[in-house]
Amino acid sequence: MLVKEGGKAEDMRVLVTGGCGFIGSNFIRHTLREHPEDQVINLDKLTYAGNPENLADLEGDPRYLFIHGDICDAEAVEEAFSRDPDLVVNFAAETHVDRSIMEPEAFLRTDIFGTFRLLEAVRSHGTPRYLQVSTDEVYGSIEEGSFDEDSPLRPSSPYSASKAGADLLVLSYVRTYGTPALIIRPSNNFGPYQYPEKVIPLFITNLLEGRKVPIYGEGTNVRDWLFVEDNCAAVDTVLRKGEPGRVYNAGGGNEITNLELTRRLLELLGRDESSIEFVPDRPGHDLRYSVDSDRLRALGWEPRWDFLRALEHTVRWYRENRGWWERIRSGEFRRYYRRQYGGGL
């Protein structure tokens, strides 16, 4: 457990990057709820995926400070680090695999070079702890069994290759400079505030609009779903209790094919299989992700949400927050959607 000299464990200044995105915004709320004495600084570039509305409820909260800036920009990073954070969590990234296949450049820039900028700031400021939020996708696909933290990295997409590059850079800083950095590799997250390009919110919002849902290939690919609240608890656990220099996997324990997932969503939304459209497969599409999370469980973490209850909760959230996703779907998203799926859907 990290405790400040002469202070309490519950008295931290936490720098979060990418806090206006899906997981980052849930994590900021989680931190201020679970550690009410903490202060949070959020450095976010506000890309298409960054939405200040995700944290509208924190407006005027004296424990929260927003800095608009890019993690690749040394001046913006310096401004954030000049607040002297005790803990840094890097969520900032380009995150959508399909966009990385269309236009990889921003992925290399933010996911690798942005991580470098943050590591340099940690080094020059002597920051006590840095957590890199990685992904289970860095291991690539596995047909049977599960990857542990020592498994080789075999990323398939420009997204996962950029995340793997960042992980290697973090580990090199641990070895070379003794940087007190840790890495977490979570599985597929879902829940409130997820940008509707990712499969679960895309399918829910398409169905709510009376459209079909595009399944890549035959829908046999398997993902291990982790409710975002459980992931926030995992990130918090590694951040405060993890051993510097170590990597921690965080899997949800809910492996399911895309077709089975789609059937559950159709049921929850009162639609039948005529709403499914099978579309050409994603290039380099990983068949199955699966990670062993025993190392993280040994720190006392386990997922608490039942998968179906979490899925129902998520569907309800999108039903009740139509304005949130309609504003997104009427903007830049439209152009992306047409380019990715064509005009028919």
Nearest approach in angstroms of CB 101 to ligand DAU is: 10
- 10 part of the active site: no
Helix and strand numbers, DSSP H then E, in the chain:
13, 13
Contact 70, 94 (CB under 8 A): no
Binding at 22: pick from ligand DAU, ligand NAD, none (beta carbon under 5-8 Å per type): ligand NAD
In whole angstroms, give the CA distance from residue 266 to residue 12: 43
Query: Which residue of the set 137, 229, 230, 286 is catalytic?
Result: 137
Catalytic residue status for 70:
no
In terms of Cα–Cα distance, which of 140, 161, 167 is closest to 151?
Answer: 140
Q: Does 24 bind ligand NAD (CB under 6 A)?
A: yes
**Is 95 near ligand NAD (CB under 6 A)?**
yes
Contacting positions for ligand DAU (CB under 6 A): 95-97, 135-137, 187-188, 198-199, 202, 214-216, 221, 223, 258, 282, 289
Q: Which does 258 bind (CB under 5 to 8 A by kind): ligand DAU, ligand NAD, none?
A: ligand DAU
Q: Segment contacting ligand NAD (CB under 6 A): 85-93, 210-218, 278-286, 315-323?
A: 85-93
100 binds ligand NAD (CB under 6 A): no
Q: What share of the chain is helix, strand, coil (3-state, %, to 5)?
A: 45, 15, 40
Q: Distance between CA atoms of 244 and 101, rounded to whole angstroms?
A: 33
The Cα 2–Cα 64 span in angstroms is: 21
CA geometry: angle at 238 spanning 122 and 34, to 5°?
100
Structure tokens at 147: 């990857």
Residue 159 annotated in active site: yes
Q: How far apart are CB 252 and ligand DAU at their closest, in Å?
A: 10
Amino acid identity at 224? D
Q: Write the single-letter amino acid at 117.
A: R
Tokens of 144: 């049977």
Between 202 and 266, whose beta carbon lies closer to ligand DAU?
202
d(CA 21, CA 325): 13
23 binds, among ligand DAU, ligand NAD, none (CB under 5 to 8 A by kind): ligand NAD
Nearer to ligand DAU, 65 or 279 (CB): 279
Which residues are tagged catalytic? Answer: 136-137, 159
* Contact residues: ligand NAD, CB under 6 A: 17-18, 20-24, 44-47, 49-50, 70-72, 91-95, 110, 114, 133, 135, 163, 186, 188-189, 195
